[in-house]
């Protein structure tokens, strides 16, 4: 209760800033305790992904970056690795990465063909061996004005065409400060996953990425305790939407200025299953350290 009062006092203070969240005394998470959350977490493979956005600037730079990332992946690294690259670089990056990582697309048009200048369809991606795409990233929502209905159409068409989607959700700083995080995530999940079945979810067709908008590209990152609370809330929303089994099986990634210094603390949380990394994925050395994070010991 005291921790909640401290949090509310920070959020309602006139000088509220994200840095202040780092000093809130929250109940300490105990990920190594043998609890249902930890045991279910042990059954979900970690998933570390990178979103290159509008980077790099040339094909050769993309090849060089992909080569550095491929070389940095330790064969014993836990879980799966994926990188989401600009359309023109997909094939070149695939040739370099091979089977060391998934190579995915950053977006897709929710149409299969037709008069849609500049559009890229799921079928086009599949013909290049691409099986994964992002949907709902805040930059697509804000800059390109992609609506919840548009994002839902993306998710449904990808799943219908036997592809996988990472659905990005998250709140603004103002919404965070007003304690609307769960409400925003619930609205986005319900609208964006409308028409997606329990079977689709159980077949790992959908991964969720929680990306607080205030932490994307700002250098600010939610504390592990904040990320854990939100991820646990998202898992409960999924349980209400689908069922408990879906909620426990679905991987939920954290995104927002993830660094080599923050990854271990985040991945120690029982409901954080991976990361969607932005800026650090453009540095092979930094991204390699994130990929090769040191997982906490999980009781058996």
137 is catalytic: yes
Torsion of CA 196, 200, 204, 210, to 10 degrees: 10
177 is catalytic: no
Distance between CA 204 and CA 158 in Å, rounded?
13
Torsion of CA 99, 104, 110, 113, to 10 degrees: -60
Distance between CA 165 and CA 158 in Å, rounded?
7
Please pick, among 139, 186, 211, 231, the residue that the annotation labels catalytic: 211
Question: In 3-state terms, the chain is what percent helix, strand and coil (to 5)?
Answer: 45, 15, 40
Containing 291, the helix (H) or strand (E) segment is helix 284-291
Containing 22, the helix (H) or strand (E) segment is none
CB 108 within 8 A of CB 123: no
Q: State residue 131 phi and psi, 5-degree precision.
A: -120, -5
For residue 83, CA distances in Å to 25, 70, 101, 106, 185 come to 35, 11, 7, 9, 24
- Which tokens is 160 given? 């219908």
Look at residue 208 and give its three-state secondary structure: strand
Sign of the dihedral defined by the CA atoms of residues 199, 200, 201, 205, in that order: positive
CB 257 within 8 A of CB 220: yes
Q: Residue 268: which of 237, 231, 218, 235 has the closest Cα? A: 231
Please pick, among 137, 139, 146, 171, the residue that the annotation labels catalytic: 137
Provide the annotated active-site residues: 137, 211
């Amino acid at each position: 209760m005291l921790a909640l009062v401290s949090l509310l006092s920070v959020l309602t203070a006139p000088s509220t800033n994200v840095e202040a969240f780092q000093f809130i005394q929250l109940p300490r998470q105990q990920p190594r305790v043998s609890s249902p959350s930890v045991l279910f977490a042990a059954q979900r493979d970690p998933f570390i992904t990178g979103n290159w956005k509008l980077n790099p600037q040339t094909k050769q730079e993309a090849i060089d970056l992909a080569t550095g990332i491929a070389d940095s992946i330790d064969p014993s690294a836990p879980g799966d690795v994926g990188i989401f690259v600009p359309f023109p670089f997909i094939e070149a990056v695939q040739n370099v990465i091979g089977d060391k990582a998934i190579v995915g697309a950053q977006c897709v048009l929710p149409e299969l063909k037709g008069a849609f200048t500049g559009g890229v369809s799921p079928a086009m991606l599949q013909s290049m061996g691409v099986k994964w795409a992002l949907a709902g990233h805040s930059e697509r929502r804000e800059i390109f004005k992609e609506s919840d209905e548009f994002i839902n159409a993306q998710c449904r068409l990808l799943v219908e065409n036997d592809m996988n989607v990472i659905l990005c959700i998250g709140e603004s700083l103002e919404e965070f400060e007003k304690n609307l995080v769960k409400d925003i995530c619930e609205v986005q999940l319900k609208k964006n996953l409308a028409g997606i079945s329990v079977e689709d979810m159980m077949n790992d067709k959908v991964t969720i990425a929680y990306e607080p908008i205030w932490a994307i590209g700002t250098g600010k990152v939610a504390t592990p305790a904040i990320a854990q609370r939100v991820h646990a809330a998202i898992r409960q929303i999924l349980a209400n939407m689908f069922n408990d089994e879906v909620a426990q099986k679905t991987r939920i990634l954290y995104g927002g200025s993830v660094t080599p210094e923050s990854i271990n603390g985040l991945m120690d949380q029982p409901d954080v299953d991976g990361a969607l990394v932005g800026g650090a994925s453009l540095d092979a050395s930094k991204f390699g350290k994130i990929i090769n994070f040191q997982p906490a010991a999980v009781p058996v």
